[in-house]
Structure 1
């Protein structure tokens, strides 16, 4: 439903009344600028084909109305091809829901609390696969096992399996070791929102993250994923749809969570951030190096969870959708589908020249400047952080006398950042960086 122009987005994401220090959203729903349900529906042909180019420009101007956010995000993240019909998308949706149900059942067979409406916050096994002696955990498992329907032996089988390390392979041990950490993070995620006062919503978040950590065992679970997944279950009613939307987001970000030896994937982006800052603001870069911050670790969290802690809940969603609209690639769906064992009719876009009108502005700049020839073009998130640093450059140069000062100045921005301004700044820096890199 369309509300009055200027309605705060936070009115859609209720904050618990006792949480009085939560930053208010700067994002306002504005008629004529924000992508409304009416404009969104009008962007589809009678068969269901979406004019994504027109949609992207409107998102950049004024974001997405909260009532349709989930539907639009599925396209922005590559869940669906804009050139698909309503019927084709229904087929894909049903296929994915079945696949998620199978994945969830596979996980439930290994640990019966999956899908039970409960979750754990204490370890269930030791590093070598031995069951823990935590009575509360054992009672929960036993309760979930006894409640299983239509299979009198199913509960005891699941109980025996979850308590018997002789049945566990390395992959299963690795997965089970993460389950309590997921639970600990779930109860800390967006705890100021009324939505997460309900146990069923907390357990839904835990289920999705638990299934994902089994589905993508190479990455598993890492702290911060709960912050990325939380909006998905708020915006999408169906748990399976929320899972696949999160899975598409993780395709963009899984490298951040991938650990190799002593390094975490996000460190590569920090190196890129240092390079960008050195090009666009050499004085600031030199100052940070002098303070011992040349590794830019103070920006780790911003990149890891895409500014979820620096913006209000509503503003972080607004920032995300603007980022995705700016870097949208019309080949996203086709590229993702190639990795799936079965796929629906998505060949229509293959073999055709990419229409830049269907690309986001950031993506168009990369194409124009030959950025696509690089192994992996830098994501807009790195330029966003660089934009924030440049915006605070004068303050950092004047007041930062140590790394603690840098962290404090950046932390003071929490709730005071303007998402649209940050994106505009990121685009300017991106253009400047590409130009200088080309002339280097």
Structure 2
């Protein structure tokens, strides 16, 4: 019988605190010949620094990314850099962004001195009217940073009031985020996460801060050593997800994706959809958390990162950087903006190719959740007598899902959905 290398557990790279005994183990294994290695990653670049995405997308989809290069690969998958750019062009953009982040952070520090101090707050610093709360712990923290210099009250505009009202909530979320990881035992790493989220909340004041963002930002802090690089990588991820965090009095931002999930389930599993509607779950709000934090609760830390990079590789579009830079002032001028760039099918993610071919724009996360529902369909139909039962059955998945199988199932469901929708169109026509 041939011996097979079981691979290195991903958890070895993200050590867990000894007292955290209830943390699910990662099923993701780093395997030679399957996982994107540093050697294969470097070989995908030309001498000038142009990246051939066709050499890495399939490898990521099949075996993930080695943790030693994960951060820099993510920067490309999320559209921080154009794969057709040179090493020098990317360095120029990186330096520009680092300066911009430095400026943003300096503005925030001027408004509240604990930004960048290595400390953070978990108590409110102002009231909704803009008055300081005079919390003794906050006052003591500020004194340790600026001495006895008094903090003067002054009229604040709505943007500043809204921003300052979020700072303590960010702090409360930071101390709850990935606390099982040894990395976040250090105060400096918690403060770094708080700084990045606080600056982002000021930078994107239209969305600000919402619960769940700390779960999305935490991996960036771990994977990218430079705080500015982590900030812009998180900002790119938020380009994909910021719509989820837009809320009004009458609707939640994630509502459009929940509507898509309902539509997909109705097509691929009409019996289950009818049952959920009967239980009062036709709005699919029970799937809210999965969409908001990209399955961070359903998978171990290592497996959730593996899942993310598989999703991004499957959805990858080489125009991502160009589209983002055209609508953003976050980077410098695009290198060779007017130069035509080759775009072959191999440079486009497998899932995205199917979408483009069929004129669809549904995100893969919708099909990941639809696949979870399909896998649990028999149990939901037999045992769910109310929404509490639905939530309980889905919560039983936490830590027990396989990221690779989940992606494969989502791809199959996507094909099935597109085929059935096309057949319905043909019948109607």
Task: Normalising by structure 2, report the TM-score.
Answer: 0.95
CA distance in 1, matches of 2:403, 2:258: 21
- After TM superposition, give the deviation of residue 433 of structure 1 in Å: 1.5
Counterpart CA distance in 2 for 1:294 and 1:53 is: 40
Q: Which residue of 2 aligns with 1:335?
A: 323
Structure 2 gaps of 5+ residues are 425-429
- Give the equivalent residue in structure 2 for 1:13: 14
SS in 2 for 1:26: coil
Aligned to 1:295: 283
Write the distance in 2 (CA, Å) between the matches of 1:195 and 1:33: 27
Residue 261 of structure 1 is matched in structure 2 by 249
Counterpart of 1:41? 42
* Cross-structure match for 1:150: none
In structure 2, which of residues 373, 381, 384 is the aligned counterpart of residue 400 of structure 1? 384
Alpha-carbon shift at residue 345 of structure 1 (Å): 4.0
Q: Deviations over 1:393-434 (max 9, x none)?
A: 111111212111111111111111010111111111111212
Once the 2 structures are TM-superposed, how far is the Cα of residue 260 of structure 1 from its aligned partner? 2.3
> For the Cα contact (< 8 Å) 2:325–2:334, is it kept in 1?
no
* Alignment coverage as a number of residue pairs: 419
Alpha-carbon distance, 1:349 to partner: 7.3
| Aligned residue among 260, 265, 273 for 1:277 | 265
Partner of 2:136: 135
Unpaired runs of 5+ in structure 1? 147-154, 372-376
Q: Which residue of 2 aligns with 1:427?
A: 411
Q: Which residue of 2 aligns with 1:315?
A: 303
Find the residue that maps to 1:264 and give its secondary structure: coil
SS in 1 for 2:69: helix
Q: CA deviation at 1:133?
A: 1.9
CA deviations on 1:2-55 (whole Å, 9 max, x unpaired) are xx7511000100000011111000000011000011110111111111111121
Change (3 A) 1:124 1:41: same
Q: Residue by residue, what CA displacement relative to the aligned partner does 1:77-108 show, whole Å, maximum 9, x if unpaired?
A: 00001101111111111110000000000000
Report SS of the residue matched to 1:125.
Answer: coil
TM score, norm. by length of structure 1: 0.93
Determine if the alignment matches structure 1 residue 83 to structure 2 residue 72: no
After the TM superposition, which residues 159-174 of structure 1 pair with which residues of structure 2 at under 5 Å, given as runs?
A: 159-160=150-151, 163-164=152-153, 166-174=154-162
Residue 268 of structure 1 and its aligned partner are, at CA, apart by: 1.2
Distance 1:393 1:40, change over 3 A: same
Q: Distance in 2 between matches of 1:368 and 1:354?
A: 15
Q: Give, in whole Å, the separation in 2 of the partners of 1:53 and 1:75.
A: 13
Indicate yes or no: 2:117 matched with 1:116.
yes
* Contact 2:96–2:332 under 8 Å retained in 1: no
Distance 2:125 2:398 in 1: 36
Q: Which moved more, 1:115-124 or 1:331-340?
A: 331-340
**Larger deviation: 343-352 or 263-272?**
343-352
Deviations 1:187-213 (A, max 9, x none): 000010000000000000000000000
Match of 2:354 in 1: 365
- Partner residue in 1 for 2:427: none
Partner Cα separation in structure 2 for residue 93 and residue 322 of structure 1: 25
**What residue number does 1:152 align with?**
none
Cα distance in 1, alignment partners of residues 423 and 335 from structure 2: 39
Please give the root-mean-square deviation of Cα atoms over the aligned residues, in Å. Answer: 1.4
Between 37-46 and 427-436, the greater mean CA deviation after superposition: 427-436
- Tell me if structure 1 keeps the 8 A contact 2:97–2:332: no
